[in-house]
Amino acid sequence: MLRTTVWLSTWLLVASAATSLLGIGYHAADPGQIEDDFRAIAQHFGGVRTFLTHVGPVNTIDVAAKVGIKIAVGVPLEPKQLFDSNVEAAIDGAKSHPDTLDAVYVGNEELLGGMPEAQLVHAIRQAKQRLVDAGLTNVSVGTVQTDGSFLEHPQVADACDVMGVNIHPFFSEGPPAANFRARWQVIKSKFSSKARLTETGWPSAGGRSPTGQTADLAVATAFFKDFQAWHDQEKTELPYWFMFQDVPSKGGYETYFGLSTVDGKWKVNLTAASHGPSAVAPLDNAAQALAAGHQLRNDSSPTVSVTFTTLDGLGLTVQGNNIVAAQGMPANFSWRQATSSIETADGGCWTVSEQALDVEIVDCDKDDPQQKWIVEPRVNHVKHVTTQQCVEVSSTPEHHARLTPCDETNREQQLRVGGYEDTPCTTVEKNVDYAGNDIGHAEAETIGGCCNLCLHMPTCRAFSLAQGMCWLKSSVGVKTDKQGVDSAALA
C-alpha cells in the first residue's frame, strides 16, 4: 500500500528456517526503538524488510545483523538526497553483513501514483549499478508495486532482479482469500520465480473500503490463516503479511492493519519460533483477540442467546438440516463467541454448503472455518467469517437461508436480532475520555456491549466508547472532557 510515512516489514518463519518465511509490516516511529522491536519480533519472525535502509542515524542492516535476522531494505526515490543516502547505507550494510542482506527494493507503489515507468526503471538501474561499482554483484535489486501496476508496465519487471508485488483484496471485491489467490496466480503465470509477495493483509476495524469490504478482526484472522495455508502449498519465497502493529496516526481502517495492537500485543496466538516452525492460532472472540494471548477471566465461553426475524416477520428456524424462515416464533439459537459458532437447541451448528452456499446444520466442530459466524445487531446482519458474505433469506416459497455478498440496502439480508442483551456496568461518565492505558479495542454499539468486552479481558479495568469503537483500558488513568465519548470502570 502507498505510504507517506516510514514502514518496515518482518518475516514470520512458518516452515523450515531455510525456505519458509512470511512477512509482516512494522511501523518505525522511533529510531531508538528499532533494536528492541526487532528483538521482540525475532521471537516469532525470521527477518525484516524496511522501506528505508537507514532511519535517522540507524542502519537497519546493522540492527538486523545484531539481532540475527535477515533483511531486505528499501530505497525511496525522492528526494534525491534520501535516495543517495539510502543506497550508500545499503552498500555499507551489505559490505559489513553480506549474509544478512537479502534484497534491495527501490521505491514503493509509485506507478499507482502516476510516476512514468521510465523514471522508475532509471532509478532501479542506477541503484543496481552503484552496488555493482562497489563490488556487490550478488545483491538482488528490484521495486515494490501493485500487481496491477506490474501487469500494466512489464518493462519495469524486466528491469528487476526481483519484483515486490502488493496484493490487497480489501480494496477489491469478493472473499479475500479467493481474490488474493486468483490475483497471485496471474502474477505467477506471467512473471514466474521473479515475483515476490511484499504486501497483503486485512484491517481488524475501521469501517468499509471504497469497494465495500468490511474491516473486521475475524475476517483478518481467517485470511491470515488462509495466507499461511497458501504459502504451505505454494512454497513462495519471502511473502509478507501487512502488518505488525496498528498505527493510530493513519486514521480509519488504515489504522488497524496490524496483526498486533499498538502496544505490540498480538491479536492472534503465535507460537514462538524464530528459527523453526511457527504456528498461528486465531483468537476467536473480540475480548480474546484484544487480550493478545491472555486467558478469559473464567472457563465459561461468552454465549449469547439470539433469535433472528426477517423484515417481513418470518422467524429463522430449523427445518431438517436447513435454516429457513417461517411463520411463527423464531427458534432460539446460541451464538458462542469463543468459537464464533451459532448453535441450535439440540447441539448442531450452522455451516455453509460448499457449492450452493446454503446455510445448513451439522455436528459442531470448533476448528471448522465454515462454522464461523459474526452476529451484527447494529446493522441486522449475520456474516460468515470465511467467505465474508451475509445471510440472506431467499424470496422463494421455501425461504431458505443462504449466503450472498453483504449489502446494507438488501432487505432480504436484514435480520432483526432478538435476545442480544448488554451486560450492565458501573456508572457511566458522559462526554469523558479515560485517556491512555489502552490495551485493545473492538467495535461495540452500546456502553453495555463495551462492558461485556472488558469483563472478558483479564487485564481490563475500564473502557471508553467513542463512535462505535470500544477502547479497553488497564486503568481509568487521566480523565479528560471529550464530546461524544462515554466511559466507565468495572466495579
pLDDT digits (tens, 9 = 90+) for 335-386: 876 577 899 988 899 999 876 689 999 999 887 888 888 877 656 788 887 7
Higher pLDDT, 457 or 47: 47
CA distance to 49, 134, 204, 472, per residue, from 490 (Å): 42, 62, 25, 11
Residue the block writes with cell 432487505: 411
Note the helical H segments in 319-364: none
Domain with CATH 2.80.10.50 in the chain: 303-418
**pLDDT exceeds 60 at position 281:** no
Element (H, E) at 314: none
* Side chain identity, residue 123: A
**pLDDT exceeds 90 at position 106:** yes
Residue-wise pLDDT for 38-48, tens only, equals 887 777 777 77
Peptide bond before residue 243 is cis, with ω within 30 degrees of 0? yes
**pLDDT exceeds 80 at position 460:** no
**What per-residue confidence (pLDDT) applies to 9?**
35
- Contacts for 45 with CB less than 8 Å, ≥ 6 apart: 10, 11, 12, 13, 24, 69, 274
Angle value at C-alpha 121, between 118 and 125, nearest 5 degrees? 140
**What per-residue confidence (pLDDT) applies to 17?**
32
Structure letter (DSSP) for residue 146: E
Give the whole-angstrom CA distance, residue 201 versus residue 220: 7
User: No. of H helices and E strands in the chain?
Assistant: 10, 30
**pLDDT exceeds 50 at position 91:** yes
**What per-residue confidence (pLDDT) applies to 456?**
57
Instruction: State the pairing for strand pair 45-50/7-13.
Output: antiparallel
Residue the block writes with cell 495466507: 227
Buried b vs exposed e over 1-30: b needs ≥16 C-beta within 10 Å? beeeebbbbbbbbbbeeeebbbbbbbbbee
Range name among 221-225, 284-288, 356-360, 365-369 with the lowest pLDDT average: 284-288
Mean model confidence pLDDT for the chain:
80
* Side chain identity, residue 47: G
- Contacts for 395 with CB less than 8 Å, ≥ 6 apart: 412
- Supply the angle between the helices 176-191 and 217-234 in degrees, to the nearest 10: 30
Topology of 429-489 in CATH?
Answer: Hepatocyte Growth Factor (3.50.4)
- What is the second-level CATH architecture of the domain 7-282? Alpha-Beta Barrel (3.20)
What would the grid cell of residue 284 be? 476467536
Domain with CATH 3.50.4.10 in the chain: 429-489
First to last CA, the chain: 43
- What is the second-level CATH architecture of the domain 303-418? Trefoil (2.80)
Query: What is the pTM for the complete model shown?
Result: 0.56
